[in-house]
Amino acid sequence: MAIIETGANAPAFELDSHLDKKVSSIDFVGKKNLLLVFYPLDFTPT
C-alpha cells in the first residue's frame, strides 16, 4: 500500500467503468479535475 502525502500528485491508475471500458487517470491530465472517491458497501464492517 502506498501512502500519498496531501497535495501530492496521484500515481497513474486504470479502472473499469460502468460502461465496460477502461478509464485511465492519464486521460484527464490537463483536461479536467479528477475526484476519486472510495465508498465501502452499506452495512459492511469497515
Alpha-carbon span 36 to 8, nearest angstrom: 14
Give the range of the structural domain holding residue 45, as residue numbers without chain letter: 11-46
- Does the residue 1 lie in any domain? no
pLDDT of residue 14: 92
pLDDT band at 46 (very low <50, low <70, confident <90, very high): low
Q: Which residues contact 18 (CB under 8 A, 6 or more apart)?
A: none
| pLDDT tens-digit series, residues 1-42 | 678 888 888 788 998 988 999 989 888 888 878 777 777 778
- Does the residue 5 lie in any domain? no
pLDDT of residue 10: 79
Model-level pTM?
Answer: 0.52
How many domains does the chain divide into?
A: 1
**Grid cell 491508475 in the structure block, residue:** 13
Q: Which residues contact 26 (CB under 8 A, 6 or more apart)?
A: 12
Alpha-carbon span 44 to 13, nearest angstrom: 26
Task: Phi first, then psi: give them for residue 14, nearest 5 degrees.
Answer: -135, 135
- Does the residue 24 lie in any domain? yes
- Does the residue 44 lie in any domain? yes
Answer for the pair 23, 14: CB distance below 8 angstroms, yes or no.
yes
- Does the residue 25 lie in any domain? yes
- Does the residue 30 lie in any domain? yes
